[in-house]
Structure 1
Amino acid sequence: MKIQQIIIAGALLVSVNTFAQKDELKALKKIYNKEEIKGADLADYKSLVEKVQPLAVEEGDKVYANFYKCMIPVLEYTAIDKTMPPLQIQLAFAKFVSPSAITELATGLNATLDYEKKTGKKIQTEDINETISSFKPELLNFAVKLGNEKKYKESGDVLYAIYQLDKKDQEVLYYAASYATNGKDYDNALIYYKELRALNYTGEGTLYFAKNKVSGVEESYTNKNVRDNMIQIGTHLSPRDEKIPSKKGEIVRNIALILIEQNKIDEAKTAITEARKENPEDVDLIVSEANIYFNLKDTINYKRLISEALEKKPNDEVLVFNLGVTCANANQFEDAEKYYNKAIELKPDFLNAYINLADLVLKPDVKIVEEINKLSTSDKDLKRYDVLKTQRQKLFQKAMPIYEKAHQLDPKDEDIKSVLKSVYSYLELSDKIKALKAEN
């Protein structure tokens, strides 16, 4: 008899909990469906979420209890006073948004979408899709803000959580991997890059540019129709298109570099070898493999692979320039000069090639100055000084037109101007110094 009473009492307890849970879910739904949720309503909502979580037993009730819980950051955001200055809004936003909260939001919303797809009852599906499309830009801004503050790991965490919200947007996953790498969060970066590779993400596309008539600034658009409309209504001019190259090689290269960072050299080589087997004609992958050997300080294999890439793309100024950089780092200065000049021949406005070439020309100057500083005032040393001074003059005269061309290409670069002033000063070209100062 006592056993029967216990069973009945247990059944009654479950029944009471179920009714309480149903009532609280209804109350949550009622608050959630309000046009505006602030103050007391928001407090009641949070309280009900805490109460309903441990009571939910059935699958559907668990799903919706979790849905209401994960939506708290969204409701808190909508409750912010939008008349505040933008900085205060951002600070308020940051108080309740974190990578873990966004991950929880993504998990909860996706679980609800999956459940409603399974049951065929789309109670919250439309609202969830609307929430993702409207809330996502704010989350992206938050991630960018973290990146600008050099909180790269945190930015990568937020971006990956955003990707969980909208897995169609693979570009967000790419940037999550990039920020994670910058933040030295190599374990997660490797996971993200491997996922990108599994998805066969390339990032290829086209950017559509047009110059704003009012600001004079060139603006970019991912949608051609939007850009063309700006031209048509007369607010923009000078349209141009720019192809976004494939990021496939970069992704494989970064996987390999992270593996090298983790001292998994053989795995890194295997990763790039497998990728090249799949895409033997992909020059980016050849360069990626070359960069592995560059990081391993294996100059012979680096040059071999860059040469292979050049055979496929002989007029690629970037490849030629990179080969120049490698030769310079390996103290093969004559070869480096040859490649920098070749890069300039292929692309006459290649600013970095001019800068590197000029720096290369002046490289011996460091040792010359060191020797000059050690000289005494003896007759022998004074004669040696005259020889060294002539050598310096020749170096500066050779470097001067290269720096002048670099300055012509980028007149606002203060570093180039500073070096050019030093060159003019040493060569005692006072008129040129005055002309340079007059540009300010």
Structure 2
Amino acid sequence: MKKIVLVLVFIMSIVYVNAQNSKVVSAYNYLKPQYNELGKAKEAIDLATKHEKTKLKAKTWYYRGLVYQALYGSKDTAFQNLCENPLEEAKAAFLKAIELDKKGKYKEDIIKSLKIMTLQFVNKGITEFNSKDNKYEEAFKSFQNAVKINELPFIAQIDTMSVFYSAVAADRAKLYDKAIKYYKECAKYKFKGAKVYLYIENIYKEQKDTVNALKTLKEGIAAYPEDNNLLMIELINFYLNSDQSQEALLYLDKAIANDSSNYSFYFAEGTLYDKLEDFENAVKAYSKSIEINPEYFDAQYNMGALYYNKAVKLIDIANEENDNKKYEIKKAAADKVFEQAIPYLEKAHEINPKDMSTMESLKTLYYRMKKMDKFNAIKEEINKVKEQ
């Protein structure tokens, strides 16, 4: 009698194990297009992944990955709402399956599914990034998932676009340490060129870390000796804003050597020489900028202002002269310099007819040089602009 009981128990245990195994098979079958019963598939595989007899089988977790990946890809909202993060659940399941699959029976199929998943995570991240709610942090997590899947040793691929998207999303989410990490990865693989260094530098500036900001710009310039204009401009502006004129001039010389047709470099050089009160070199630099681009307002205006300000200094010197004859000579010399300012300011006014500083300077000059027709005309233009 005892033998019969033991046999019955053994038979019942086999039936029970088979029932659990059938949950795994059922889950897979429910996935098939002719059934499309994702709700039942999820219910079956959830039970199988919790039961002692099936929870340590690679097949169970592989099928779980397939089920949850299908839930994410479903267009039926009823299925989509069955799980909060189906794609992340699928990823975790596939990785668990790989861990349990000692013989590699499902490895090739799992890798195929994971590669599809990287695209799904990227598309998910793009949707989150572009959402009206600015889901930048969620987007970062999605892009990061794509990156991490590609980094798995059995895939070992570098998708630089996913890395870049991760950096941008982290940047927007103000996750600056992570943004810097992924931007530096982009720099390592020379993805997006010199601009990546500018993105890193902007983060350091946001963090008030001028040491690393400066270091990053110089690293970028060294990495891209033939294509670093944006970095050069940023570095020059850094030195300009921190009153390091000689350093700024040094890098301006390098910038001009790389791109001698860039009028903005000569303009920046002119402003530096102007600041250093080196009149002759300022004139040369502004003249070169204007030669390259005659329609550049800033260069035309600054050149006019350069002559205007020099003339004012000459008038101040003349006013200190007690000898009337010498005064007249010095005043005449100052007027010649005032006269030189007029063409540049007139050109600046032509380029930007509503700039008040230009018009006020011209009004003063026309009156001083007794050009009354022009004085009255510019005065009328000023009044019109003020009325607008």
TM-score (norm 1): 0.50
Q: Is structure 2 residue 348 aligned with structure 1 residue 402?
A: no
**In 2, Cα distance between the equivalents of 1:117 and 1:145?**
42
**In 1, Cα distance between the equivalents of 2:224 and 2:348?**
42
**In 2, Cα distance between the equivalents of 1:50 and 1:178?**
36
- CA offset at residue 190 of structure 1? 1.3
The corresponding residue for 1:34 is 33
Q: Is structure 2 residue 175 aligned with structure 1 residue 185?
A: yes
**In 2, Cα distance between the equivalents of 1:293 and 1:346?**
25
**Aligned mate of 1:171, from 134, 158, 161:** 161
Change (3 A) 1:338 1:69: farther
AA matched with 1:160: Q
Change (3 A) 1:36 1:341: farther
**Aligned mate of 1:255, from 200, 209, 220:** 200
AA matched with 1:250: K
Q: Is structure 2 residue 57 aligned with structure 1 residue 79?
A: no
AA matched with 1:287: M
**In 2, Cα distance between the equivalents of 1:279 and 1:305?**
14
Contact 1:252–1:288 (CA under 8 A) maintained in structure 2: no
**In 1, Cα distance between the equivalents of 2:103 and 2:201?**
40
**In 2, Cα distance between the equivalents of 1:35 and 1:295?**
70
TM-score (norm 2): 0.56
**Aligned mate of 2:251, from 305, 311, 316:** 305
The corresponding residue for 1:60 is 58
**Aligned mate of 1:201, from 169, 176, 190:** 190
- CA offset at residue 189 of structure 1? 0.6
Change (3 A) 1:276 1:287: closer
**In 1, Cα distance between the equivalents of 2:213 and 2:11?**
62
Contact 1:256–1:268 (CA under 8 A) maintained in structure 2: yes
Contact 1:174–1:193 (CA under 8 A) maintained in structure 2: yes
Structure with greater strand percent: 1
How many residue pairs are counted as aligned between the two chains?
314
Contact 1:259–1:268 (CA under 8 A) maintained in structure 2: yes
CA offsets per residue over residues 134-178 of structure 1, 9 Å max, x none?
x467536514523x6544444444433444466654123223322
Q: What does residue range 351-430 of structure 1 map to in structure 2 within 5 Å?
A: 353-354=296-297, 397-403=346-352, 428=380
Q: Which moved more, 1:105-114 or 1:303-312?
A: 105-114
The corresponding residue for 2:104 is 119
The corresponding residue for 2:44 is 48
**In 1, Cα distance between the equivalents of 2:86 and 2:282?**
51
Q: Is structure 2 residue 228 aligned with structure 1 residue 290?
A: no
AA matched with 2:124: L
**In 2, Cα distance between the equivalents of 1:17 and 1:327?**
86
Change (3 A) 1:401 1:53: farther
Q: What does residue range 187-266 of structure 1 map to in structure 2 within 5 Å?
A: 187-198=177-188, 200-203=189-192, 247=193, 249-262=194-207, 264-266=209-211
**In 1, Cα distance between the equivalents of 2:68 and 2:270?**
51
Residue 50 of structure 2 aligns to a residue whose secondary structure is coil
Gaps of 5+ in 1: 1-8, 82-91, 204-246, 364-392, 405-417, 434-440
AA matched with 1:119: G
Change (3 A) 1:47 1:119: same
Change (3 A) 1:264 1:257: same
**In 2, Cα distance between the equivalents of 1:12 and 1:269?**
76
**In 2, Cα distance between the equivalents of 1:13 and 1:396?**
101
Contact 2:201–2:216 (CA under 8 A) maintained in structure 1: yes
Gaps of 5+ in 2: 1-8, 151-156, 306-341, 360-376
CA offsets per residue over residues 208-246 of structure 1, 9 Å max, x none?
xxxxxxxxxxxxxxxxxxxxxxxxxxxxxxxxxxxxxxx
CA offsets per residue over residues 392-414 of structure 1, 9 Å max, x none?
x999855331127xxxxxxxxxx
Change (3 A) 1:172 1:138: closer
Contact 2:187–2:197 (CA under 8 A) maintained in structure 1: yes
- CA offset at residue 131 of structure 1? 6.0
Residue 352 of structure 2 aligns to a residue whose secondary structure is helix
- CA offset at residue 126 of structure 1? 4.6
The corresponding residue for 1:160 is 144
The corresponding residue for 2:262 is 316
Change (3 A) 1:269 1:427: closer
Structural RMSD (CA): 5.6
Residue 119 of structure 1 aligns to a residue whose secondary structure is coil
